[in-house]
Amino acid sequence: MVLVGKSSIQKTYYDILSVKEDAAYEEIRASYKSAVLNSHPDKVQNITETSDHPHELEERFLNVRKAWEILGDSKTRALYDHELRESRQDIDTAEDISLEDMNMENVGEVVELFYPCRCGDYFAIDSAELKDMGYTLDSGGNKAVLNRPDALPTSVVLPCASCSLKIRLMINAHC
């Protein structure tokens, strides 16, 4: 139901197709067509040499197809949406934090946001991961602001790099 990427940030089928959760069928269909063309292993290998391994290309393509299989049918989409809402509430987190609670560090072209864990390590997310989720991070001075066209309240669950604890980063919501 929910996919986990290399960064341990959970991706939904909506994320894979780059659409909002309230997107209309036509928007999902158009995004699927574009994503399947851009991720098809034969098309990608014929157009450009890529550093991705063939199994990564195939996995990306299969994820796009699975996302369409679920979101393209109104009954399976409704079930998926219900399970997605429940899973978001079922995740045990140590605490809910806001963007203002996180520390910022510029690391070249990327801004890293981190929050200390009680084990001594950190919960972290960077501006590139946020961009993949559709957010732009504006960091001026010591303050960071996340922008997204829909500006709906949401949250991101961040795992600790060392232990099993997780926190929920609340975005556009009051903790």
Q: Is residue 151 part of a domain?
A: yes
Q: ∠163-55-10 over CA atoms, to 5°?
A: 35
% helix / strand / coil in the chain, to the nearest 5?
A: 40, 25, 30
**Residue 175: pLDDT band by 50, 70, 90 thresholds?**
very low
Yes or no: say if 104 and 112 are a contact pair by the CB < 8 Å rule: yes
Question: Are 103 and 86 part of one and the same domain?
Answer: no
Does the pTM of the predicted model rise above 0.75? no
- Residue 149's CATH number: 3.10.660.10
Alpha-carbon gap, residue 3 to 32, rounded angstroms: 17
Question: Are 122 and 140 part of one and the same domain?
Answer: yes
Q: Residues 21-42: what's their mean pLDDT?
A: 88
Q: Is residue 1 part of a domain?
A: no
Looking at 91, 118, 146, the residue that finishes a domain is 91
Q: Is residue 6 part of a domain?
A: no
Using one digit for the tens of pLDDT, what is the confidence trace for 62-89?
999 999 999 999 999 999 888 887 776 6
Using one digit for the tens of pLDDT, what is the confidence trace for 96-119?
888 888 898 888 888 888 999 999
pLDDT at 7: 45
User: Distance between terminal CA atoms of the chain?
Assistant: 27
Range of the domain at 20: 13-91
Percent of the chain at pLDDT exceeding 90: 23
Question: Are 116 and 82 part of one and the same domain?
Answer: no
Q: Is residue 166 part of a domain?
A: yes
Alpha-carbon gap, residue 83 to 47, rounded angstroms: 38
